[in-house]
Each structure stands twice: as C-alpha cells, then as structure tokens.
Structure 1
Amino acid sequence: MGKTPQMGMGGLAILVVLFMGSVMPQLSSGFEKGTIRQLVTKYNVTSVLVFGDSSVDPGNNNRLPTPMKGNFPPYGKDFFQARPTGRFSNGRLATDFIAEALGFTKIIPAFLDPNLKPKDLLHGVSFASAASGYDELTANFSNVLSIPRQLQYLKHYKLQLRRVVGVKNAEWAVKNAVFVLSMGTNDFLQNYYLEPERAKQFTVEQYQDFLSTQMLHSIKEMHRLGARRLVVVGVPPLGCMPLVKTLRGGEEQNKCVEAINQVASSFNSKIKANLALLHRTLGIKDAYVDCYAVLQNALSTPQTYGLAETAKGCCGTGTIEYGDTCKGLSTCEDASKYAFWDAVHPTQKMYQIIADEAIKSLSEALIR
C-alpha cells in the first residue's frame, strides 16, 4: 500500500462521503449511489471521522469504566444477529447505513474496538462517547470521553494511519476526510438541568454562550489537526423526548415541553452562527444538519414517515427507561413503527428518516 498510495487514497476516497453526516442512515431516494461515488472521487474525499455522543457512538464506551453503556439486550435487537454492540438503538446508526450504501462496510467501528483492523482506518472510525458534550464537565460526570480526549484519540488514529499509508498520504487523507460532530443534548439534560454547578454559574442563555465558545475551541483544534470538511448535527427538540415529557410534562405529559425546545432551538442558532464564522475565518467547508426540524416534522406528521408511535419509546414503558434501566426489559413488537427506541434515543427507522431529509442539503453544502 505504501508503494501504490493512489490505490489507498482511492479506497479512502470512495469511502468518504460515507459521511455526509453523523446523522444519516440511508441515502435519499433522489440521490443515487453512483452520483455520490462520483462526487467522492471528484473531490478526493477520503474517510469519515466521527466525534460526539451516543447519537454516533458505536461502542467506545464499552471500553471505559462508565455506567453509560448500551452493550446488552434489548439494545441491538435489530442489529446483525440481534447483537448488542454499544449502540444506543435497536439497530445501526447513521454512519453504518451510509457506509453500506457506498458498498464498503456495513458498520462504522468504534476507535477503541479491540478488533479494529488496519483496513478499518481507511473507511473511517468513530471517536464518539455516549454521555459526552461540548462542556468537558458533562463528560466528566459519567467518566466518558470529552471532546479534548476524543481529539487526543484522533492523534493516535493519525499515527496508526501513517503505518498503513505513510506519513504524507495519512496527512492528505485526514485533510480530505469528512469530520462529523454530533452532541449538545447531554450538556442540557444531564448537566445543566440535572447538576447544580453550571446552573449556579450561568443563566440558560449564558450557558448556551459558554457551550458555543467550547464548540469553537474544539473545532479550531480539529482544524489544527487537519479538518477541512465539517458536518455539525444540531440539537434535537429536547422537549419532545419521552423522558423529558415524563419528568417535566406534568398533566401535559404527551405534549412536548416547549420551554426546553426553545432552549434547543436557540442553541442551534448559535451553532449555525459558529459555522458561518469558521467558514469565514478558517475556510472550513461546513454543513449543518437540522436534526431539530427533521424530528419535529416526523413527530408532527408520523403517518408521512410510516410511524405509528412518537410519544414513547419501544423499550419498557417507553417513558423513563434508557441505558442501564432498559437492560433486559421487554420491547415493542415492531420498532420500525416507533420514533424512539428508549426514552431518549431514536430508533433505526428514525435515523433513516433523518438521513433521507438531511442528505439533500449535505450533498451540495459539504462536497464543494
């Protein structure tokens, strides 16, 4: 591979639009696989490098001393051989579907997976860690990988990639990769609204600004390490999560908590402002995935997407269980009819819905 770098880079390239987002699982019907591959080759896209929380963690937390794991049934109920892998869903994540659509691999591996092979480095890996956030304190509460620690692993990845394709090709591959960043939910739900420290320091608006600043620092460090193409997934409508509705909804339990949704929407505005700033100052090619709007549309008109249940999750009662409290519980019969797998995380079907909507804007915004 060292003697024929173009072969190695070509393989990387065909793989990389693989990640038009940490958020999409299946290609839009209006965007053919052949077209994607042509774009990837034309623009020398190489691989997908993923950072974030449980929305894009395929199992890194399995290797950490943390209770925030999903490597037991019923998680993975609809994964290959019904195998739980650490993905907080009934099946695959967005990255997995994109990879399969491109014809390379059916799953995007966790970087900490002990079974990771050298060839896997060429397809892209995930450094994401469930329960992490833009705020380093968020990750510390659960002893998971903060963004700085995820970026440290990116350095390890680059060293390993050099052994596979050489120093020059490794740097070229990283600079032509698609970086995906998907987090923010835990900063609010597991930190600000649950723990006292940040709430004493900041108003909600001030905390949003704090998170925005932390996000900028992280992306600038990504840029220093080679990031030139970036997909950022916005925060979903947090007030529509079954757990939030159960805890904050009171008599209106089946309705979304609009005050919390407004916080999410406001923070998303800051994310978009950050991306505009980074594009102007660093020249980063960016794409914003409006997860908030996509989820709201699906929850508002479920029949349009083939969904029958959007108020509760598929695991247990569907109102409070997630992670360890979902362990060993019974589930709904057909998760593909549900928007949520547990009281927090989407089903595989929901990821497909997000993908179908998001790929339309990503295809042009990212690869240019």
Structure 2
Amino acid sequence: MHSRVPMVTVLALMALMPLFSGAVDIRQLRQLTAKHNVTCVLVFGDSSVDPGNNNRLPTTVKGNFPPYGKDFFDRRPTGRFSNGRLATDFIAEAIGYTKIIPAFLDPNLKPTDLLHGVSFASAASGYDDLTANLSQVLPVSKQLEYLKHYKLHLSRLVGVKKAQNIVNNAIFLLSMGTNDFLQNYYLEPNRPKQFNVEQYQNFLASRMFEDIKEMNRLGATRVVVVGVPPLGCMPLVRTLAGQNTCVESYNQVAWSLNAKIKEKLAILKKTIGIKDAYVDCYGVIQNAINTPKKFGLVETSKGCCGSGTIEYGDTCKGMTTCADPSKYAFWDAVHPTEKMYRILADEAIASLDGALIG
C-alpha cells in the first residue's frame, strides 16, 4: 500500500489532549525528555510517517493535492496521506520542539530544522527494499543513506561532536510493513515464489533487525518500532473482499508479523543494548474499531474521501469529503484521519515513557 497504511505510525505523544483517560501531562513529559537529553525525532518508514518526501521523487505515489491536508495548517496539502498531521508531528509538538516533523527532501527545509528532527520516510516503502522499488520510492537502505547526509549537514551546522550527540540522543522511529504485503507479496509474483507467508514474515523481521543494527552503528541508542495495523480492517481490503467486517485472514498475517518483530526487538535489546519500545498499532486501531464511542468516533468502516471504500492517493484527488473527519477512523480507504493518529499517539505514550527515556 502506498503505505497505505493505516498505520500507522504512531507513537507518540498527544499534544492536543486530554482526549481520553490517560491524558498526557505535557509539562511532565518535557521535563522527562529534557532530563534524559532527548534531542529530536528521526523518522523512517512509509506513508504513515512520510510528510512529503515523495513529492520530490519520480513516483505516482503522492498526496500533495486536495483534499489531502484539508485540516492541516492553512488547509495546505503537504504530501501527508491524511487530512492533517501525523502521529510523529504530535510527538515533536508534545516534546516541545516543533509542531511538525518536516521531510528531509523538502526544498524549503532550513538548517535549523535539522536540530528538531526530520523524516526520511517514503510512502509505499517497506522493510523489503523490493517493495519500495516497485513504486520508485525510497527503500530503507536509501533512507539510511539520507541519514548519513543528515549527519553531515548537522556537523556543518553545529560541529561534529555536537552533531553526534544529537543523533545519539534522538528517538529513531520506524513505521512500515503494510506495503510489504498489500503492495508486494499479495500483488507481485516474485516474493511468493521465494517465500511462503511465514517465511516472508521472518524475512521482513530480519530486515528490520539489520536496519536497526545499522542505525545503531550510525549512532542510534533509542528506537521505537510501530507495529503493523490490522490490515483486514482497512476499508479497501474490506471492499475488495466483499465484506462489511474486518478480513480475519489479513489481520492474522499482521498479528503474526508483529509477534516476530517483537521477538527481534528483544534480541536487539540483549545483544547491542539498544533501548527500544514497541507501539501496538494493531491493538489500538482494533480497539477503536470495536469500541468507537470510547474514542469519539462514529464511522470506522469507510474513509472520509469519496465513497470511502476504494479511494486513496490519485483516486482521492479532488473528491468531496465527509463533513466531519474527526468522527472517522480513516481519511481515505487506507490511511487514518488526523483524529486516529491522535488516538494512536495518545494511547502509545507509555511506549515512550519508561522503556525509552525512563
């Protein structure tokens, strides 16, 4: 999926809270991050965390046109596949650095923006480099190459020693995995010939494992991994399956992949001593779908754009939208609304606390 992913990413801290119980004490959070020298957030992944890098790429996977951005600042489409901000934007605001995390490839990026964190993510990417190559977007290997460029730019700005300190104390966030199945394994012939589903899950978890080891080599000490969402609950998947309810076979694939991801994170913690946190995107989204009133939601089975059943990306372009996106879990047939990203962020704050900076 063009990162189709409702995924989400999420982690983070809700800034505009208190939406529900477990509301975030922003002042306390900022004191905690300051005490533990958290410097910024560096983001890797797919459309769940891409704020517009794909705008600069020769790909059709873009979201830099209306109605995307309908509820963003100045109602401006930026390339984010949502009506407003992403969970990672809320993290940055909650920590107190900036209201958005910009795209590293944004031509308007200012040198000082580098101090507050950037996103290298690319919609339609995945743990498998082939997934990104199919859509001519940035694979994780290229995102990591841009991390090296980021470090060089940062060194010129503040000096090598301070630049390394910023990277060492940053939160590295990874959010991807949806496209590996929905845009690659289930649509393309190559991977199914090489792997059965479980083998492919093992392959993806191993790729994540190696990516985090490379991040650690480049200076990462704190890593947050966002789990894969319940794929079968996405409006597009439901529509294609002809079901009004979530498609359990797809959900099982996501659940199993998440279990393997958590196993790899445990190994990383033991072997290289990295601080890590796992965000249960699957559980949070499933909970919102099963008990929408608890989260102030009304519609969880279709998106806000167009019919809400098949439109996303180009097919959402220029479409009419629902009157109140804050009542919807999905903005288009695959991506969450800003409200859902807030819910994910709010519910996931415990992942940042304690395990990562406590």
TM range (shorter): over 0.9
Deviations 1:317-351 (A, max 9, x none): 11111001111111101100000000000000001
Question: Is 1:318 matched with 2:308?
Answer: yes
Question: Is 1:265 matched with 2:258?
Answer: no
2:341 pairs with one of 351, 355, 361: 351
Question: Is 1:331 matched with 2:331?
Answer: no
Q: Which structure: greater helix fraction?
A: 1
CA contact (8 A) 1:25 1:93 kept: no
Distance in 2 separating the partners of 1:24 and 1:46 = 15
Alignment of 1:167-206 (within 5 A): 167-206=160-199
CA contact (8 A) 1:25 1:96 kept: no
CA contact (8 A) 2:46 2:121 kept: yes
Deviations 1:152-197 (A, max 9, x none): 0000000000011100111111011100000000000000011111
Aligned to 1:38: 31
Distance in 2 separating the partners of 1:58 and 1:218 = 21
Distance in 1 separating the partners of 2:190 and 2:318 = 34
2:88 pairs with one of 95, 102, 107: 95
The structure whose RCO (Cα within 8 Å, separation 6+) is larger is 2
Alignment of 1:174-253 (within 5 A): 174-248=167-241, 250=242, 253=243
**Per-residue deviation at 1:34?**
1.4
Distance in 1 separating the partners of 2:12 and 2:285 = 13
CA contact (8 A) 2:29 2:94 kept: no
Which amino acid in the other structure matches residue 23 of structure 1?
A: L
CA contact (8 A) 1:68 1:130 kept: yes
Aligned to 1:23: 11
Gaps of 5+ in 1: 1-20
Which amino acid in the other structure matches residue 137 of structure 1?
A: L
CA contact (8 A) 1:56 1:95 kept: yes
Which amino acid in the other structure matches residue 182 of structure 2?
A: L
Aligned to 1:299: 289
Distance in 1 separating the partners of 2:240 and 2:306 = 16
Gaps of 5+ in 2: 1-8
Please list every run of at least 4 consecutive aligned residues from structure 1 whose deviation after the TM superposition is greater than 2 angstroms: 21-25, 27-31, 98-104
Which amino acid in the other structure matches residue 280 of structure 2?
A: D
Aligned to 2:99: 106
Question: Is 1:164 matched with 2:157?
Answer: yes
Question: Is 1:155 matched with 2:148?
Answer: yes
CA contact (8 A) 1:316 1:326 kept: yes
Question: Is 1:135 matched with 2:131?
Answer: no
CA contact (8 A) 2:13 2:348 kept: no
Distance in 1 separating the partners of 2:70 and 2:167 = 34
Q: Count residues in correspondence.
A: 345
Provide TM-score, normalisation by structure 1: 0.92
- For the structure 1 residues 157 and 22, does the alpha-carbon distance in structure 2 shift closer, same or farther, using more than 3 Å as the test? farther
Provide TM-score, normalisation by structure 2: 0.94
Distance in 2 separating the partners of 1:128 and 1:106 = 18
Which amino acid in the other structure matches residue 222 of structure 1?
A: M
Deviations 1:245-302 (A, max 9, x none): 1112x2xx21100011000000000010011000000000000000000000000000
